[in-house]
Amino acid sequence: MGEKTILIVDDHGALRYILSFDLQKKGFKTVTAGSGEKGIEIAQKERPDLILLDAMMPGIDGFETCRRLKKDDSTKDIPVLMVTAKSQREDVLEGLQSGAVSYMVKPFKFEELFSKIVEIIGEP
């Protein structure tokens, strides 16, 4: 199976569901997590092709989650795309400095997100 897997880490269940549904329609396989801790655990087990990571979450935030993923040998090579409502320049910089390959500000159009995903990991 050449199916590409995307891990969606966001504390908003509805958004996880919608993104998951839309990405599956496009041909990706998806797994989801509602917290940074859970996201790290799933990333280590599933080794997804890409991680969509929300910055603002209870517990460890997306920036810290990304730093931990990048420190771990089993997950350090997985590209992380941060998606967040935090649009300040400092937030974007923190996201990129924590190891994210790219950054998208919510709200975004699904097509924009899809194009960004394909740019990072190719077609499903």
pLDDT for 39-59, tens place per residue? 999 999 999 999 999 999 999
pTM of the entire structure? 0.95
**Overall average pLDDT of the 71-80 stretch:** 98
Q: Where are the domains of the chain?
A: 5-119
Give me the pLDDT at residue 102, please. Answer: 94
For residue 7, list its beta bridge partners. 31, 51
Domain 5-119 superfamily per CATH: Response regulator (3.40.50.2300)
Contact between residue 99 and residue 80 where contact means Cβ atoms under 8 Å apart = yes
State how far Cα 87 lies from the chain centre.
16
The order of strands in the sheet holding 50-54 is 29-33, 5-9, 50-54, 80-84, 102-105
User: In sequence order, what E strands does the chain have?
Assistant: 5-9, 29-33, 50-54, 80-84, 102-105
Percent of the chain residues topping a pLDDT of 70? 98
